[in-house]
Amino acid sequence: MQAFNPYLPSWEYTPDGEPHIFDGRLYVYGSHDRFRGHVFCLNDYVCWSAPVDDLSDWRYEGVIYKKTDDPDNPFGRACLYAPDVTRGPDGRFYLYYVLDKENTVAVAVCDQPAGKYEFYGHVHDKEDNLLGHRPGDEPQFDPGVLTENGKTWLYTGFCSPFDPSRHGPMCTLLGEDMLTIEQEPVFIMPSKPYSAGSGYEGHEFFEASSIRKFGDLYYFVYSSIVMHELCYATSRFPDRDFTYRGVIVSNNDIGISSYKPAAKPAYYGGNNHGGLVKVGEKAYIFYHRQTDGTMFSRQGMAQEVTIGPDGSIPQVEMTSCGLNGRPLEGRGTYPAYIACNLFTDEDLPYSGGAGKGFWMDGRFPRITQDGKDGDEEQGYIMNLSLLGRSGSRLHPGRVHQCLDQLYHRS
């Protein structure tokens, strides 16, 4: 079978994907948007997995954690934001997340990678004070976790470019119980108000902390202040000396000049979140795209990346091939929803919000589906036109999914 982008069914909306290999399978953990949702992350956490030798064969693992499983959310009114999972020193699996409108990091635990997770506790210091609630703590958000040699490193943070009270992403060392702080949070890179002379200028940290270690380098992947790009920084230490290295992927392909001007958006982008994974000799970046003309119905995407001998990762192009490992076969038919470029003559890089106004008024193409959230209806592209609208300088979009892209680019 062949793999496409998005790599999950077109009716599934699982952004913020964090890929991890456990016992011969690749598991992806993310938040869970709702089709036609009015805000981010309205649904419960689900998990999908695939065998490492066939990344086209994805299996639905079901709901692994409900909003109401958190004791602070018995009525499910708060959303589960982007999580991450790590295997602890005891062999169990720990899911770290931040609940909507909370500033603390919650943890759930399970004996299996994709079983039923149960609430375990909150990250706290040795006096049982919750991280995020203590005087001087900055709010916690988007946890990324890495466990090695019995230690778990927790990365968190959210930094508006206009908020000098946020200083950058934080790294906190946890003890073997996966909850207790062993080393207080330290900032590993600056936020925008403090970035002058740092090397991060123009790509300062916004959100979406993700951490991996390949060889002797730690890779910190994050969403920058421009939102649509995932950037990375590297260090030989988990908690200091991170150096900005570049952009890995943009969900509107800004920065890619192989088929368009580099500054031209090729898709209606928005926020971004994802992580790196190595599968055998290959490496991939997982990220997400926006659909339905809003920010709030996002789908998981993935691209193969090249890691150079010096640890560098050149920016990769969004494609319809994704995890396929080769160009799509030049025969048969393909579903329209795998189109990765939707151009218009009005170069706006971001999707709309709250389902209102410019992006939902019928002038722009968008990937959508029939039915309601959860209906297994194949996605398609709507609002296609090859003709301009009389009296308007705006031309409705055309699909840019040419044979060259489908069959000759990987």
pLDDT for res 304: 98
- 138-157 burial, b for 16+ CB within 10 Å, e for fewer? bbbbbbbbbbeeeebbbbbb
Residue 329 annotated in active site: no
pTM: 0.93
Specify the pLDDT at position 365: 85
**What values do phi and psi take at 323, rounded to 5?**
-85, 10
- How many angstroms separate the CA atoms of 200 and 203, rounded? 5
Say if CB 225 and CB 163 are below 8 A apart: no
- CA distances (Å), 397 to each of 40, 266, 362, in order? 26, 11, 10
pLDDT by residue for the chain (410 residues), tens only, comes to: 899 999 999 999 999 999 999 999 999 999 999 999 999 999 999 999 999 999 999 999 999 999 999 999 999 999 999 999 999 999 999 999 999 999 999 999 999 999 999 999 999 999 999 999 999 999 999 999 999 999 999 999 999 999 999 999 999 999 999 999 999 999 999 999 999 999 999 999 999 999 999 999 999 999 999 999 999 999 999 999 999 999 999 999 999 999 999 999 999 999 999 999 999 999 999 999 999 989 999 999 999 999 999 999 999 999 999 999 999 999 999 999 999 998 877 787 888 754 343 444 556 789 999 999 999 999 999 988 765 443 333 333 333 333 333 333 33
How far apart, in whole angstroms, are the C-alpha atoms of residue 351 and residue 335? 22
- Catalytic option among 16, 84, 142, 304: 16
Instruction: Give residue 111's pLDDT.
Output: 98
Residue 283 pairs in a beta bridge with 278, 305
The amino acid at residue 37 is G
Report the alpha-carbon distance of residue 392 to residue 346 in Å, rounded: 11
Q: Note the pLDDT of residue 27.
A: 98
- Asked if residue 344 lies in contact with residue 364, where contact means CB atoms within 8 angstroms, the answer is yes
pLDDT of amino acid 363: 65
**Residue 159 backbone class (left: φ over 0; alpha: ψ -120 to 50; beta: rest):** beta
pLDDT number for residue 362: 59
* pLDDT recorded at residue 61: 98
pLDDT at position 212? 98
Tell me how far CA of residue 276 lies from CA of 28, 190, 273, in angstroms: 11, 22, 11
- Three-state DSSP class for 167? coil
Instruction: Mark whether 207 is an active-site residue.
Output: yes
Backbone region of residue 168 per phi and psi (left: phi > 0; alpha: psi in -120 to 50; beta: other values):
left
Name the residue with tokens 């706006």.
348
The tokens of 251 are what?
């969900």
Q: What is the CATH number of domain 18-323?
A: 2.115.10.20
Q: What pLDDT is recorded for position 390?
A: 33
Looking at residue 398, its pLDDT comes to 33
20 contact partners, CB below 8 Å, separation of at least 6: 26, 27, 28, 29, 85, 86, 113, 277
**Domain ranges for the chain:** 18-323
Q: Rounded to the nearest 10 degrees, how much is the dihedral formed by the CA atoms of 185, 188, 194, 198?
A: 160
Q: What is the largest CA-CA distance in the chain?
A: 69
* Choice among 33, 44, 70, 207 that is catalytic: 207
pLDDT on residue 401: 36
Give residue 386's pLDDT. Answer: 62
User: How do strand 282-290 and strand 276-279 relate by DSSP bridges?
Assistant: antiparallel
Q: Which residues pair with 59 in a beta bridge?
A: 49
One DSSP character per residue, 253-271 reads -TT--SSS-TTS-SS-B--
Nearest to 385 by CA among 358, 357, 366, 406: 366
